[in-house]
């Protein structure tokens, strides 16, 4: 079992908030020494709890201001090819396979609503295996701050290894 504690959660929260923050600043903010911080980050990477550092692009600043979510029904026989085709569409940002009314929910971003309508109905809707498309236009977007806390993380690490993750508070 892998044990994570409050410091691990604070490190994850800080990195999620701003992964570009330097180690000296993180050490001051978290009130820990540099060697401890480095060793914890290496451990979180080794455990695959911390997968990668990334950049968050402000697409609005690039003129990509329109957003939508498309609910799709997909014929099971053509599922793989339909999903592969959807993932090749430039405007697609995220594909989720779900249960319920739709088989997949697709997040899209584009320069205008007209552009997104064309992409969804003409390109995605015409893919073999896509049997129904419904569009939900994004009226506003808010991303609340995320903070990792003990007891709120699942019981299994996201990893290719079948290793269980147990969150235990530091004493």
Q: Does domain 59-137 have CATH number 3.30.70.920?
A: yes
SS3 breakdown of the chain: % helix, strand, coil, rounded to 5?
Answer: 35, 20, 40
pLDDT in tens, 60-96: 889 899 999 999 999 999 999 999 999 999 999 999 9
Distances (CA, A) of 120 to 55, 56, 70, 112, 127: 27, 24, 7, 12, 10
pLDDT of residue 56: 82
The pLDDT assigned to 169 comes to 44
Six token digits for residue 63: 């003129």
Regions of the chain with pLDDT less than 50: 153-171
Whole-structure pTM value: 0.72
Q: What is the residue extent of each domain of the chain?
A: 2-55+145-167, 59-137
CATH of domain 2-55+145-167: 1.10.10.10
pLDDT computed for residue 164 by the predictor: 47
2-55+145-167 and 59-137 have identical folds: no
The angle at the Cα of 104, spanning 49 to 110, to the nearest 5 degrees, equals 90
Strands 92-97 and 165-167: unpaired
Grouping H, G, I as helix, E, B as strand and the rest as coil, residue 47 is coil
Report the pLDDT value the prediction gives residue 110, as an integer from 0 to 100: 96
Q: Which of 8, 6, 5 lies closest to 40, judged by CA?
A: 8
What is the reported pLDDT for 132? 97
């Amino acid at each position: 079992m892998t044990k994570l504690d409050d410091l691990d959660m604070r490190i994850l929260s800080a990195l999620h908030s701003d992964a570009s923050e330097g180690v000296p600043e993180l050490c001051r903010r978290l009130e820990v020494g540099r060697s401890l911080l480095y060793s914890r980050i290496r451990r979180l990477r080794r455990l695959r709890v911390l997968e990668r550092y990334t950049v968050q692009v402000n697409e609005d600043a690039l003129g990509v201001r329109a957003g939508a979510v498309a609910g799709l029904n997909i014929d099971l026989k053509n599922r793989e090819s339909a999903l592969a085709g959807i993932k090749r569409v430039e405007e697609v940002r995220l594909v989720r396979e779900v249960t319920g009314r739709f088989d997949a929910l697709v997040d899209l971003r584009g320069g205008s609503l007209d552009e997104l309508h064309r992409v969804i109905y003409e390109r995605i809707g015409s893919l073999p295996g896509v049997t129904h498309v419904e569009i939900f236009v994004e009226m506003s977007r808010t991303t609340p701050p995320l903070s990792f806390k003990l007891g709120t993380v699942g019981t299994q690490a996201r990893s290719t290894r079948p290793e269980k993750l147990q969150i235990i508070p530091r004493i």
